[in-house]
């Protein structure tokens, strides 16, 4: 079972559980396995299927069903009001789970609040710290760097099939999910915008400059970026500026949930892999423990940059620099570690023979770093 399964089972005893995440990341598989292994008699509904949609609208299920799973329910008009009413009437009789590939915490169809009635969990692809049984570190790293961490291409490990799978996934997200939830007409230009982002992983992204390349307004590209984030295609890492008077304040970095989406060299793809693994970890800690975490980067006007900074409740916890093969401790990492004094400062090197520590700065390989417990 996936890394959040036991926590889903615990939360379902008390409240509804909403599970979000990218399309084809394994939400349905996780829900069905939970239904089979933890519950006695569950029922799964998919809003995209006509028969299930009619059963949902008519509230047609058996009294002995102890778990109801509603997939893609956010596409239903006023879905939050609907699930609130169902929960208020029968929440003590059975458990409820709602899954969706768009961000269930963002799309609100209707004005009724669900505050206090549910816990929200985010499911991510396989990453450095989660891999199926029987796949060793070396093989897992190779798969993550070539076909990405989504279950189907990761398990198949066939690059041609993975490329076809990825193309189909892009088409379905852009032409079905976006169409259903957002009033965007120029899907073709939005697809070109996505391709431009795939080539800029690891660098600062000036969305207004991309707008000029595509001959659209900066407001349009800004909206497109928000939509791509809501659809779990990309995530945004913004600059950390507190206590840094000369920090760069505007341009974000853009990374992808699917590591194989990155178009670039091995270094860019490895940085994206670390970014997605870090985001997965901070999302898990937020969803499990309730603390507020942030994933940032640091860059000042002198060009000193550290790839990632992790904040907990607004306090800097850790600085992380990512290198493909350079074992020498990064000067910017040393500089910011001395001035900002985080709890931990780490350099993650993809091809590292032996981990070591130098003046309290850790230099580790990715599997040593992510093997630390959550």
pLDDT digits (tens, 9 = 90+) for 132-157: 889 999 999 999 999 999 999 999 99
pLDDT for residue 374: 61
Please check the confidence at residue 299 and state whether its pLDDT lies above 50: yes
Same domain, 298 and 198: yes
Q: Which of 79, 95, 122 is the last residue of a domain?
A: 122
Among 60, 95, 122, which residue terminates a domain?
122
C-alpha dihedral over 270, 276, 277, 281, to 10 degrees?
A: 160
| 129 found inside a domain | no
CA distances in angstroms from 326 to 168, 264, 364, listed in the order given? 37, 19, 11
More confident residue, 326 or 179: 326
- Is 63 found in the same domain as 36? yes
Are 364 and 231 part of one and the same domain?
yes
**89 plus 152 within the same structural domain:** no
What sign for the dihedral angle of Cα 264, 270, 275, 277? positive
Q: State whether 150 and 296 are in the same domain.
A: yes
pLDDT at 369 over 80: yes
Quick one: 298 and 264 in the same domain? yes
195 and 343 co-located in one domain: yes
For the chain, the domain total comes to 2
Output the pTM of the full model: 0.93
Summarised one tens digit per residue, pLDDT across range 230-252 is: 999 999 999 998 766 665 567 89
Radius of gyration of the chain (CA): 21
Q: Which residue has the tokens 């615990």?
A: 10
Q: What is residue 248's predicted lDDT score, i.e. its pLDDT?
A: 55
What confidence score (pLDDT) does residue 264 get? 86
What's the start-to-end Cα distance of the chain, in Å? Answer: 17
Closest to 201 in 3D by CA, of 165, 236, 239: 236
Tokens of 366: 């990715």
- Residue 81 counted as domain residue: yes
pLDDT confidence of residue 108: 47
Which string of DSSP letters, residue by residue, matches 77-122?
Answer: TTHHHHHHHHHHHHTTTSEEEEEESS-TTT---SS---TTSEEEEE
175 pLDDT band (50/70/90 cuts)?
confident
- The verdict on 54 and 169 lying in the same domain is no
Domain range enclosing 91: 5-122
Instruction: Identify whether residues 147 and 83 lie together within a single domain.
Output: no
Q: Identify the residue with better confidence: 241 or 9.
A: 9
**Could you tell me the two tokens for 345?**
């400062």
Residue 311 has pLDDT above 90, yes or no: yes
**Per-residue pLDDT tens over the stretch 77-134:** 889 999 999 999 988 899 999 999 877 766 544 455 788 899 999 999 999 999 888 9
DSSP 3-state of 17: strand
Q: Is position 131 within any domain?
A: no
Mean pLDDT for the chain overall? 91
Q: Is the predicted pLDDT of residue 69 greater than 50, yes or no?
A: yes
Q: SS3 for 357?
A: strand
Q: Does residue 209 share a domain with residue 64?
A: no
Q: Select from 94, 122, 150 the last residue of a domain.
A: 122
- Cβ neighbour number for residue 226 with a 10 Å cutoff: 13
49 lies in the same domain as 164:
no
For residue 11, the domain's CATH number is 3.40.50.300
- What is the per-residue pLDDT across 31-56, written as a single tens digit (0 to 9) for each? 999 999 999 999 999 999 999 999 99
In a domain, 132, yes or no: no
Are 95 and 144 part of one and the same domain?
no
Q: pLDDT at position 208, please? A: 87
């Amino acid at each position: 079972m996936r890394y959040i399964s036991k926590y889903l089972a615990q939360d379902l005893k008390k409240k509804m559980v909403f599970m979000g995440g990218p399309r084809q990341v394994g939400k349905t598989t996780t829900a069905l396995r939970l239904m089979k292994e933890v519950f006695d008699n569950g029922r799964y509904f998919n809003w995209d299927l006509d028969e299930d949609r009619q059963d949902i609208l008519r509230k047609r299920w058996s009294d002995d069903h102890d778990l109801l799973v509603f997939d893609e329910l956010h596409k239903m008009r006023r879905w939050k009001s609907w699930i609130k009413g169902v929960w208020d009437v029968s929440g003590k009789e059975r458990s409820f789970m709602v899954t969706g590939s768009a961000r269930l915490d963002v799309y609100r169809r209707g004005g009724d609040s669900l505050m206090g009635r549910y816990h929200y969990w985010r499911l991510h692809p396989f990453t450095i710290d989660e891999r199926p049984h029987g796949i060793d570190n070396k093989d897992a790293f190779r798969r993550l760097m070539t076909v990405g961490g989504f279950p189907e291409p990761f398990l198949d490990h066939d690059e041609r099939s993975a490329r076809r799978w990825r193309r189909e996934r892009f088409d379905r997200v852009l032409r079905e999910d976006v169409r259903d939830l957002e009033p965007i007409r120029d899907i073709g230009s939005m697809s070109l915008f996505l391709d431009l982002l795939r080539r800029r992983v690891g660098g600062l992204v000036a969305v207004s400059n991309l707008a000029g390349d595509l001959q659209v307004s900066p407001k349009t590209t800004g909206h497109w970026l928000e939509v791509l984030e809501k659809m779990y295609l990309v995530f945004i890492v913004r600059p950390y500026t507190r206590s840094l008077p000369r920090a760069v304040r505007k341009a974000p970095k853009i990374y992808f949930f699917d590591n194989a989406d990155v178009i670039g060299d091995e270094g860019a793809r490895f940085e994206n892999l670390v970014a997605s693994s870090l985001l997965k970890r901070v999302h898990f800690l937020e969803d499990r423990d309730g603390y507020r975490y942030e994933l940032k980067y640091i860059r000042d006007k002198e060009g000193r940059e550290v790839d990632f900074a992790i904040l907990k409740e607004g306090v800097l916890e850790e600085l992380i620099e990512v290198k493909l093969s350079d074992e020498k401790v990064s000067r910017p990492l040393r500089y910011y570690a001395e001035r900002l004094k985080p709890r931990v400062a780490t350099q993650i090197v993809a091809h590292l023979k032996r981990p070591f520590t130098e003046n309290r700065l850790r230099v580790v390989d990715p599997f040593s770093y992510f093997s630390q417990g959550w």
